């Protein structure tokens, strides 16, 4: 299980080219004809790249708009000056210190700004940037006289003698700056492919769903702020040490907007794109300032570039590889068909087999953290549309049919008290203003049961559900999960106890594939921390592998492998419902609450869903609470039922009893019904 | 007493920020986008009015054309940047407005230059004495216009169907369609209104000070603070926020000790914003589910 | 919500192959490197080889005069309290020892590209001298600093048309830096690396400032000749700016002179000041003004700091009116558009007793174009002989300035004092190079400039300018011009009768870091 250095050694010409490029990049500043000003631009590009990476994380992955990055860079730069002047700590020791200061500032900003939502956050960061620009960076005690801070950087060793290391020499500093940029890139890329990255995407995709999977949304947003703050601190430190001076103009609002433009042109979510965009903007600077005829057009050009990229290519530079691959794939298919026609198939297939494997591998891996060499074991799934299997999606409709699960009929002891209660609601009353949505409702779900909660539309079922899940605060009553009183607990805490849920309006994470959606659900089972992910420690990799194993198991169990690598967006509704259930199972929950799972499904799908639920309870031993208004469905699966109408508990009991309850029937049909019609209705419900 | 005088003197700033904040709020209510291009919608109409006046048109006509161009600018921004990006995330839409702002600023400073330009006066030139100092007629005019427009806006939103339609269409476009309301039309109207409001503010402000692209567009910034303090959901909130912000920025530098510190008013505003945000803290709620 | 590229961590590959996981060991390695490299720097053997910059015993930013230990040579009539000498009268100026004015004259006569000694220093060849400067061709500063390049180019072109200096043509490279400090200093460092001999004028003062303050200019030993930025950093001849010779009058001197003029020539005893509180020139000038009033025995009744980013100054104006209603004199240390906005808010201004005066930046078309009647009677000080003064319409130096610049650009605003200063600075460069002659080295430049008097005949664009080692406050005389306005427009300037006024405390009140 050697993990670290199993870099495959087949030397593709592509790799050799890569090495040559890297070698050149390492050596060029010292070549005799290297223009000195371009070396300076390269350093600036590294600094841009670090800030752009911080924006990709904060804005692209977690979705929190920040217009304060330049201010945070300024904090890093000025604190570096203070550290050097007052504490005499030299570079590079002052780098982590300055980065920590910026991180702390970002934490403060985040802690306050996250109390408000969405667009307010953008305004809050705007205000911070504005305040720093006008106030903080003109205070002599902080940013020096007139907003200008100066440090002097000693030389290590004696000039001319070896060893000596002069940080003020641009060519030497080039290495330092790019080393920092590459380390930052590596660290953030590591984050992305692990638990933390998935949590970030989950927070962006659907905060409610993320919380229901145990992700502390606020904590992760704050974490994103802190990490991006640390990165900006690094950039600020490099600016101060490299230039030995900084003035407040470098950190004003327009610069924050400029940094944002770089990240956008790179495609907000792509690290590689951010890197390339940084290089582009640094070169633009050079071109527009050096070339006399272009002077004065830099602002216009950057603005136009940003606008064009946004409007025409929203994916930015990060989308370019995918676009190229699509073209390449199309070209390859055309070529293939052409060659088939020419009967050169056999010979060419051997050549193209290597390419096919790569293509299949590449189709599923879009990211800089690409996994070279080994194709995913689920290769058949990647080419599923071409072949049809019994469990593959239907060619026409794309609907994956739910394999039939054996209907595990479990016989439970009618005495409910023999089973420990997992979910208890006591006297829940929920008021919205003057409207009483739930009035003193109580129910219990005991281990091993499938409990149904039904009621006509508007009865207050979903409100009750959300009160139990933690999205509503009941005005009276207690909620107990696994025996603990959780009435005041936030949503993510409740998930820790082993409760999962599904949503009526599917809350999957749209930018991720099915597999990734399920991977998010392994969050609670993965106890590794952020730092472990950043360094990609042994433990974190192992935890990641274990998570993948678990997800694969669940996918197999539910026969969903065919969907694994498909993005969630675009899948038919029935499949999405299945995926949500699978996600709940992956969490390892002891009890799952389902909010109107049958809504949006046709009759056949509903049948299958019922089978699935029975299977989940029977084979996996998971307790279920199902809230529905489709009576036949619920009665066919439940062991015990509660009926709610107009906010009040109307009846409870085993399904047969409840079905015959006159009050219940009246509630649904609106009037008392003669007994013969009742019998027919009951028969019809069972058969449906 | 002295404070009263200071607050009176802050009226033109209050008026300007109020017009900006109202524009930002109207746009937000109708299209759920934070318009960071507002600063751009302030300067371009002002410069166009300047050009029209320079070309010989009577000043009032020039102002009218300027306001219309502001409305047009709002529609263009909506069409080009916001609508196209609607299928992307809200983040991308906001960045889109940033791009629009950058374009307008770059274009304006390229064409008109950064030397301050002087617009012919719209209101009669002169002063009204207040205590030891004076308020320009133009500043009073700005305040008066703001009152009129704010009242008109309130009336429009409260008493007519249009306002309701705008907000409804923003909340749930599909339902609005089913009710016969064209959400695109209402959004356009909202942006046009926002643009016109910004234009009016820019023109009047420019005529009592002078036209310089960076400084003038920067004036919209405190309006965002006002919007945060007052709440972006409500027009009255925008007004209250503007009063707070205008008084702080206008009056604080006049105070004896505090006024000396560079950036003191911005610090105070930030503190106020922090307090507001702390009080407004929310836990995860139903509103956070994707529609 | 959508993204075009699904970000991926998904391919269910069994293990990471690339990039390899680093593990905690890598963190340890990184920590060792950081601590090691840092620790090494505190060891004497490896420690700082270069001392922090402090020459001639006067440390950087020492409060006080910053004059260093070298006094001005005697014979220059700069006794304290002397004011209002008639224009051009300056007493006899003895040349200090070792001035190479005549030296090299012999070689200057037959000095051409075959016998000038060839490459005598970096950037010098037998046929060329390479000069480089940053300019402001874009951004906010473009309107008032952009034209300076025409002044520089005008002089260079005239010299080259005449065959150059000692057979060497002047190669002037100019690069736009958008008035950005970081970019500007980086460009200057590139110039140094690429072998420029000297940096003339450098109108983009932000970048120059950063390079001076961070020690780049001093450690490179490259002459910066004829700068006109007015900020204190360019005058720190005892420390970081020993290679910088400014031709402009410093902001410090401007404010000293403003106070002295009001006190002595108009008997003002109570003063008020309005200044820009955000930018350097305002902050530096304010304390100089305050200190000078203290020395004179007057009283600074009130001072008002303005934020340039605010458009409406009614609050500060109210404050001003409450406090400055009866003062004798009001000083304005503002940028032109700030000044315009402040004035339009109707502050009470003293009309008699010296009234109101503004610093050199206010001597600008952008103020007069928009100002109106309120500007009538306000005077502005300048350290140059401006073209608007009818007394100079026949002065050869002024006439030549006009013609030269007009040849470069038909639209440049000749009253722009930065432009005039830049032109003058370039003249200084040329005089210096001519005087040194064939054996052109940077050291020779330094020796020459530190012992010379420029425009010594009193008929140049400035009063005679004298630099000495440790004291580069050469331009210490300014003249005031009063704006004349009627029917709502400023129509012109009237020279103030006091003529050139000299600052007896040049260099005093250096800003403390």
Average pLDDT, chain C: 81
Q: Smallest Cα–Cα separation from C189: which of C151, C168, C220, C158?
A: C220
pLDDT exceeds cutoff 80 at B2: no
| Tens of pLDDT, residues C260-274 | 999 999 999 999 999
- When mean pLDDT is compared across A351-360, B189-198, C404-413, the lowest value belongs to A351-360
Residue C120 and residue C394 in contact, taking contact as beta carbons nearer than 8 Å = no
Per-residue model confidence (pLDDT) at position A364: 37
Q: What is the pLDDT of residue A154?
A: 60
A466 touches chain B (CB under 8 A): yes
Residue of A nearest to C27 (CA): A535
Query: Nearest residue on chain B to C139, judged by CA atoms?
Result: B114
Q: How would you classify the pairing of strands A648-653 and A640-645?
A: antiparallel
Q: How distant is the Cα of C163 from the closest Cα of chain B, in angstroms?
A: 38
Which residues in B lie closer than 8 A to residue C370 (C-beta atoms)? 116-118, 210
Q: Looking at residue C46, what is its pLDDT?
A: 56
Phi-psi domain of A153 (left: phi exceeds 0; alpha: psi -120 through 50; beta: other): beta
DSSP letters along A132-187, please? HHHTGGG-HHHH-GGGEEE---PPBS-TTSSS-B-TTSHHHHHHHHHHHHHHHHHH
How many domains in chain B? 1
Contact C7 A61 (CB under 8 A): yes
Going by pLDDT thresholds of 50, 70 and 90, the confidence category of residue A407 is low
Q: What integer pLDDT is reported at residue A168 of this predicted model?
A: 73
User: CB of A412 within 8 A of CB of A639?
Assistant: yes
Give the minimum alpha-carbon distance from C285 to chain A in angstroms, rounded to a whole number: 12
Give the pLDDT mean for C86-103. Answer: 36
Query: Nearest-CA distance from A313 to chain C in Å?
Result: 9
The whole-number average pLDDT for the span C490-496 is 89
pLDDT at position C18 is 56
Model confidence band, residue C315 (pLDDT cutoffs 50, 70, 90): confident
Q: For A271-293, what is the mean pLDDT?
A: 91
A3 close contact with C: CB closer than 8 A:
yes
Which candidate in A307, A470, A472, A502 is best for mutational testing of the B interface (most B CBs within 10 A)?
A307
State how far the Cα of A279 lies from the Cα of A275, in Å rounded to an integer.
7
pLDDT of residue C109: 53
Contact yes or no for A89 and C26 at CB 8 A: no
Question: Looking at chain B, which residue has its C-alpha nearest residue C308?
Answer: B215
| Residue A372: pLDDT over 80 | no
For residues A214-231, give the mean pLDDT. 94
Contact C309 A134 (CB under 8 A): yes
Q: Which residue of B has its CA nearest to A299?
A: B106
Contact yes or no for A438/A463 (Cβ under 8 A): yes
- B139 to C314: CB separation less than 8 angstroms, yes or no: yes
Per-residue pLDDT, averaged over A82-103, amounts to 90
B136 Cβ under 8 Å from any chain C Cβ: yes
- Of the pLDDT bands very low, low, confident and very high (cuts 50, 70, 90), residue C93 is very low
Domain ranges of chain A: 35-314, 320-380, 416-687
Mean pLDDT computed over every residue of chain A:
82
Selection from A402-416, A622-636, B244-258, C423-437 with the highest mean pLDDT? C423-437
- CA atoms of A17 and A150, how far apart (whole Å): 42
C322 touches chain B (CB under 8 A): yes
- Chain B contact for A308, CB < 8 A? no
A311 has a chain B CB within 8 A of its CB:
yes
How far, in Å, CA of B152 to CA of B143, rounded? 14
CA distances from A213 to A217, A518, A545, A623, B4 (A): 10, 10, 19, 17, 56
pLDDT(A157) > 80: no
pLDDT (0 to 100) of residue A434: 80
A-chain residues near B277 (CB < 8 A): 112-113, 115-116, 120, 124
Count CA atoms within 13 Å of residue B45 on its CB side: 31
Contacting subunits of C (3+ beta carbon pairs below 8 A):
A, B
pLDDT level of residue A268 (50, 70, 90 thresholds): confident
Percent of chain C clearing pLDDT 90 (strictly above): 47
pLDDT of C52 reads 46
The percentage of chain B sitting over the pLDDT mark of 90, rounded to a whole number, equals: 28
Q: How confident is the model at residue A675 (pLDDT cuts 50, 70, 90)?
A: low
CB contact under 8 A, B260 and C305: yes
pLDDT, position A54: 96
Chain A CB within 8 Å of residue B275 CB: no
Q: Which of A581, A591, A568 is nearest to A502 (CA)?
A: A581
Pick the CATH number of A416-687 from 3.40.50.300, 3.10.640.10, 3.30.1360.120, 2.40.128.20: 3.40.50.300
Q: Which of A275-289, B46-60, C20-34, C453-467 is predicted with the least confidence, judged by mean pLDDT? A: C20-34
Are the Cβ atoms of A144 and C513 closer than 8 angstroms? Answer: yes
CATH code at position B79 = 1.10.3470
Which of these CATH numbers, 1.10.3470, 1.10.10, 3.30.1370, 3.30.70, describes A35-314?
1.10.3470
pLDDT given at position A164: 63
Contact: B225, A123; criterion CB under 8 Å: yes
Among A675-684, B127-136, C417-426, the range with the most confident prediction by mean pLDDT is: C417-426
Residue A316 has what pLDDT?
A: 83
Instruction: Decide if C337 and B210 are in contact by the 8 Å CB cutoff.
Output: yes
Window 35-64 of B: residues touching C by CB (8 A cutoff) are none
pLDDT band, very low/low/confident/very high, at C366 (cuts 50, 70, 90): confident
Contact between residue C364 and residue C334 where contact means Cβ atoms under 8 Å apart: no
Cα separation, A298 vs A660, in Å, equals 78
- Chain A: list its partners (3+ Cβ pairs within 8 Å): B, C
Nearest by CB to B9, from C306, C318, C336: name it: C318
Mean pLDDT across A141-156: 77
C453: β partners: C466
- Average pLDDT of span B163-179: 73
The 10s digit of each residue's pLDDT in C316-339 is: 888 888 889 889 999 999 988 889
Residue A634: pLDDT over 50? yes
Using the Cβ of B105 and the Cβ atoms of chain C, whether some distance falls under 8 Å is answered with no
CB contact burial A667-683 (16+ within 10 A = b; e otherwise): bbeeeebeeeebeebbe
Q: Is A269 helix (H, G, I), strand (E, B) or coil?
A: coil
State residue A367's pLDDT score.
34
Q: Tell me what pLDDT residue C1 has.
A: 36
Give the distance from residue C334's alpha carbon to the nearest chain B alpha carbon, in angstroms. 14
Residue A122 sits at the chain B interface (C-beta within 8 Å): yes
Q: Is C393 on the interface with B (CB under 8 A)?
A: no
For B217, the closest chain A residue by CA position comes to A254
- Is pLDDT at A361 greater than 50 in this prediction? no
Domain of B267 in residue numbering reads as 2-288
Please name the residue of chain C whose CA is at the shortest distance from the CA of residue A542.
C15
Beta bridge partners of C271: C300, C329
Cα separation, C479 vs C463, whole angstroms: 10
The CA-based angle A420-A423-A429, given to 5 degrees, is: 135
Q: Do B228 and A120 form a contact (C-beta atoms < 8 A)?
A: yes
Q: What is the pLDDT of residues C2-44, one digit of tens each?
A: 333 334 444 333 445 556 677 788 888 888 988 888 887 776 6
Does C206 lie at the interface with A, CB-CB under 8 angstroms? yes
Q: Does B99 touch chain A (CB under 8 A)?
A: yes
**A515 contact C CB<8A:** yes
pLDDT value for A674: 53
Lowest mean per-residue pLDDT among A382-391, A645-654, B134-143: A382-391
Instruction: Supply the pLDDT for residue A670.
Output: 62
pLDDT over threshold 80, residue A346? no
* pLDDT for residue A9: 57
Least confident of A117-121, A188-192, A640-644, B251-255: A117-121
Who's near C145: CB < 8 A, 6+ residues apart? C135, C136, C179, C203, C204, C205, C418
A130 touches chain B (CB under 8 A): yes
Which range among A476-485, C224-233, C367-376, C468-477 shows the weakest confidence by mean pLDDT? Answer: C367-376
B96 inside 8 A of chain A by CB = yes
Closest CA to A261 of A241, A236, A280, A238: A280
> Where residue B289 falls among pLDDT bands split at 50, 70, 90?
very low
Is B115 in the A-facing interface, judged by CB distances under 8 Å?
no
Residues 204-233 of B with CB under 8 A from C: 205, 208-210, 212, 214-216, 218-219
Residue A332 Cα, gap to closest chain B Cα (Å): 31
Question: In this complex, is the C-beta atom of A491 within 8 Å of any C-beta atom belonging to chain B?
Answer: yes
Place of tokens 């206010």: C362
CA distance C79 to B40: 56
- Domain architecture of chain C: domains with CATH: 105-249+394-475 (3.40.50.2300), 252-382 (3.40.50.2300)
pLDDT of residue C440: 92
3-state helix, strand, coil in chain A (%, to 5): 60, 10, 30
Residue C319: list chain B partners with CB under 8 A: 253-256, 259
Question: Which of B233, B273, B276, B282 is best to mutate for the A interface (most A CBs within 10 A)?
Answer: B273
Residue in chain C closest to B215 (alpha carbons) equals C309
Q: Least CB-CB distance to B89: which of C1, C278, C347?
A: C1
């Amino acid at each position: 299980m050697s993990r670290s250095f199993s870099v495959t050694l087949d030397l593709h010409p592509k790799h050799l080219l890569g090495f040559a490029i890297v070698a050149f990049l390492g050596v060029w500043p010292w070549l005799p004809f290297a223009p000195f000003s371009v070396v300076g631009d390269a350093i600036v590009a590294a600094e841009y790249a670090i800030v752009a990476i911080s924006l990709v994380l904060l804005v692209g992955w977690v979705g929190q708009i920040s217009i304060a990055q330049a201010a945070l860079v300024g904090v890093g730069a000025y604190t570096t000056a203070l550290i050097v002047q007052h504490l005499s700590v030299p570079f590079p020791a002052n780098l982590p210190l300055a980065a920590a200061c910026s991180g702390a500032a970002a934490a403060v900003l985040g802690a306050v700004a996250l109390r408000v939502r969405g667009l307010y956050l953008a305004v809050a960061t705007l205000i911070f940037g504005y305040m720093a620009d006008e106030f903080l960076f003109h205070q002599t005690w902080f940013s020096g006289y007139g907003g200008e801070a100066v440090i002097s950087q000693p030389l290590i060793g004696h000039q001319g003698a070896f060893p000596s290391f002069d940080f003020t020499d641009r060519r030497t500093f080039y290495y330092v700056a790019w080393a920092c940029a590459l380390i930052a890139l590596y660290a953030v890329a590591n984050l992305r492919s692990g638990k933390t990255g998935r949590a970030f995407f989950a927070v962006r995709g659907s905060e409610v769903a993320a919380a229901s999977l145990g992700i502390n949304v606020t904590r992760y947003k704050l974490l994103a702020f802190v990490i991006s703050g640390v990165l900006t601190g690094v950039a600020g430190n490099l600016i101060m040490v490299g230039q030995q001076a900084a003035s407040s103009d470098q950190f004003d609002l327009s610069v924050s907007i400029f940094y944002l433009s770089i990240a956008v042109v790179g495609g907000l979510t792509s690290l590689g794109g951010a890197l390339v965009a940084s290089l582009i903007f640094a070169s633009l600077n050079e071109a527009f300032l050096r070339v006399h005829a272009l002077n004065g057009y830099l602002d216009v050009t950057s603005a136009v570039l940003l606008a064009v990229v946004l409007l025409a290519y929203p994916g930015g530079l990060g989308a370019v590889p995918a676009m190229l691959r699509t073209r390449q794939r199309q070209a390859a298919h055309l070529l293939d068909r052409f060659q088939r026609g020419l009967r050169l198939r056999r010979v060419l297939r051997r050549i193209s087999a290597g390419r096919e494997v790569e293509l299949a591998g590449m189709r599923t891996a879009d990211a800089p953290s690409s996994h070279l060499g080994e194709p995913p074991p689920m290769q058949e799934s990647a080419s599923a549309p071409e072949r049809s299997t019994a469990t593959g999606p239907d060619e026409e409709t794309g609907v994956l049919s739910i394999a039939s699960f054996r209907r595990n009929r479990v016989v439970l002891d009618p005495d409910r008290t023999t089973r420990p209660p997992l979910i208890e609601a006591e006297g829940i009353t929920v008021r919205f203003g003057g409207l009483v949505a739930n009035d003193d409702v109580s129910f219990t779900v005991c281990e091993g049961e499938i409990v149904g909660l039904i009621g006509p539309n508007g009865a207050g079922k979903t409100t009750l559900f959300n009160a139990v899940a933690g999205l509503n605060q009941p005005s009276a009553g207690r909620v107990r999960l696994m025996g603990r009183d959780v009435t005041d607990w936030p949503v993510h805490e409740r998930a820790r106890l082993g409760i999962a849920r599904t949503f009526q309006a599917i809350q999957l994470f749209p930018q991720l594939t099915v597999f990734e959606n399920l991977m998010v659900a392994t969050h609670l089972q993965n106890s590794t921390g952020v730092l472990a992910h950043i360094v990609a420690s042994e433990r974190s990799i192992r935890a990641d592998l274990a998570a993948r194993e678990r997800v694969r198991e669940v996918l197999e169990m539910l026969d969903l492998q065919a969907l694994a690598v498909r993005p969630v967006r675009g899948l038919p509704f029935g499949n999405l419902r299945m995926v949500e259930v699978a996600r709940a199972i992956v969490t390892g929950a002891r009890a799952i609450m389902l909010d109107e799972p049958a809504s949006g499904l046709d009759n056949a799908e509903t049948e299958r869903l019922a089978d699935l639920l029975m299977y989940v309870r029977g084979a996996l031993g998971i307790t279920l609470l199902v809230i529905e208004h489709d009576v036949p469905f619920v009665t066919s699966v439940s062991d015990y039922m509660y009926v709610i109408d107009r906010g009040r508990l109307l009846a409870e009991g085993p399904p047969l009893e409840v079905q015959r309850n006159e009050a219940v029937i009246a509630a649904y049909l609106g009037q008392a019904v003669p007994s013969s019609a009742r019998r027919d209705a009951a028969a019809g419900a069972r058969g449906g | 007493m002295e404070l009263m005088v200071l607050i009176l003197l802050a009226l033109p700033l209050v008026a300007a920020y109020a017009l900006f904040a109202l524009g930002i709020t109207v746009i937000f209510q109708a299209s759920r986008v934070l318009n960071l291009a507002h600063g751009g919608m302030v300067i371009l109409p002002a410069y166009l009015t300047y050009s029209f006046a320079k070309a010989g048109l009577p000043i009032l006509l020039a102002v009218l054309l300027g306001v219309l161009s502001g409305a047009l600018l709002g529609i263009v921004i909506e069409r080009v940047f916001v609508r196209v990006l609607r299928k992307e995330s809200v983040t991308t839409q906001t960045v889109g407005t940033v791009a629009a702002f950058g374009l307008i600023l770059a274009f304006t400073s390229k064409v008109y230059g950064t030397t301050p330009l002087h617009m012919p006066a719209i209101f009669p030139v002169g002063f009204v004495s207040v205590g030891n100092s004076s308020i320009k007629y133009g500043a009073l005019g700005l305040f008066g216009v703001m009152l009129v427009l704010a009242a008109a806006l309130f009336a429009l939103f409260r008493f007519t169907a249009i306002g309701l339609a705008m907000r409804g269409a923003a909340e749930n476009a599909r339902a609005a369609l089913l009710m016969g309301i064209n959400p695109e039309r209402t959004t356009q109207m909202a942006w046009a209104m926002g643009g016109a409001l910004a234009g009016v503010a820019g023109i009047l402000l420019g005529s009592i000070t002078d036209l310089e692209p960076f400084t003038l567009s920067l004036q919209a910034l405190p309006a965002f603070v006002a919007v945060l303090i007052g709440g972006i959901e409500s027009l009255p909130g925008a007004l209250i926020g503007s009063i707070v912000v205008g008084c702080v920025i206008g009056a604080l530098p006049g105070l004896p000790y505090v006024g000396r510190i560079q950036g003191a008013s911005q610090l105070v505003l930030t503190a106020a914003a922090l307090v507001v945000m702390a009080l407004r803290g929310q836990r995860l709620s139903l509103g956070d589910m994707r529609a | 919500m959508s993204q075009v590229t699904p970000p991926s961590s998904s391919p269910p590959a069994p293990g990471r192959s690339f990039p390899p996981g680093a593990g905690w060991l890598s963190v340890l390695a990184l920590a060792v490197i950081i601590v090691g490299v840092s620790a090494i720097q505190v060891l004497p053997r490896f420690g700082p080889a270069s001392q922090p910059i402090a020459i001639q015993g006067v440390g950087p930013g020492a409060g006080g005069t910053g004059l260093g230990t070298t006094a001005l040579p005697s014979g220059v009539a700069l006794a304290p309290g002397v004011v209002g000498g008639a224009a051009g009268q300056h007493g006899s100026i003895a040349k200090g020892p070792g001035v190479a004015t005549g030296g090299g004259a012999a070689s200057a006569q037959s000095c051409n590209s075959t016998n000038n000694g060839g490459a005598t220093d970096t950037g010098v060849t037998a046929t060329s001298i390479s000069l480089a400067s940053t300019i402001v061709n874009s951004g906010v500063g473009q309107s008032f600093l952009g034209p300076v390049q025409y002044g520089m180019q005008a002089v260079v072109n005239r010299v080259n048309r005449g065959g150059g200096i000692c057979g060497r043509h002047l190669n002037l490279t100019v690069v736009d830096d958008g008035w950005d400090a970081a970019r500007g200093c980086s460009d200057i460092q590139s110039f140094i690396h690429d072998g420029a001999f000297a940096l003339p004028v450098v109108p983009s003062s932000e970048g120059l400032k950063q390079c001076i303050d961070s020690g780049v200019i001093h450690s490179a030993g490259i002459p910066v000749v004829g700068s006109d930025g007015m900020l204190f950093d360019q005058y720190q001849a005892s420390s970081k700016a020993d290679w910088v010779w400014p031709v402009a009058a410093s902001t410090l001197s401007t404010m000293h002179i403003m106070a002295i003029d009001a006190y002595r020539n108009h008997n003002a005893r109570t003063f008020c000041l309005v200044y820009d509180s955000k930018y350097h020139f305002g902050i530096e000038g304010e304390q100089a003004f305050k200190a000078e009033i203290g020395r004179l025995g007057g009283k600074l009744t009130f001072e008002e700091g303005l934020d340039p980013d605010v458009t409406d100054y009614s609050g500060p104006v109210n404050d001003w009116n409450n406090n400055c209603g009866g003062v004798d004199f009001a000083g304005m240390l503002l940028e032109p558009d700030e000044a315009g906005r402040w004035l339009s808010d109707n502050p009470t201004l003293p009309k008699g007793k010296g009234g109101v005066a503004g610093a050199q930046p206010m001597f600008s078309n952008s103020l007069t174009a928009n100002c109106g009647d309120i500007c009538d009677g306000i005077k502005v000080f300048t350290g140059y002989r401006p073209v608007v003064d009818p007394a100079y319409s026949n002065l050869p130096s002024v006439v030549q300035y006009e013609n030269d610049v007009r040849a470069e650009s038909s639209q440049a605003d000749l009253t722009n004092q930065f432009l005039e200063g830049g032109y003058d600075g370039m003249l200084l460069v040329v005089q210096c190079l001519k005087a040194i002659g064939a054996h052109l080295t940077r050291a020779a430049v330094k020796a020459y400039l530190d012992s010379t008097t420029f425009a010594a005949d009193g008929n140049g664009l400035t009063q005679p300018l004298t630099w000495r080692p440790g004291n580069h406050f050469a331009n210490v005389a300014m003249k005031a011009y009063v704006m004349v306005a009627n029917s709502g427009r400023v129509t012109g300037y009237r020279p103030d009768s006091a003529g050139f006024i000299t600052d007896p405390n040049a260099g005093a009140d250096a800003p403390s870091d």
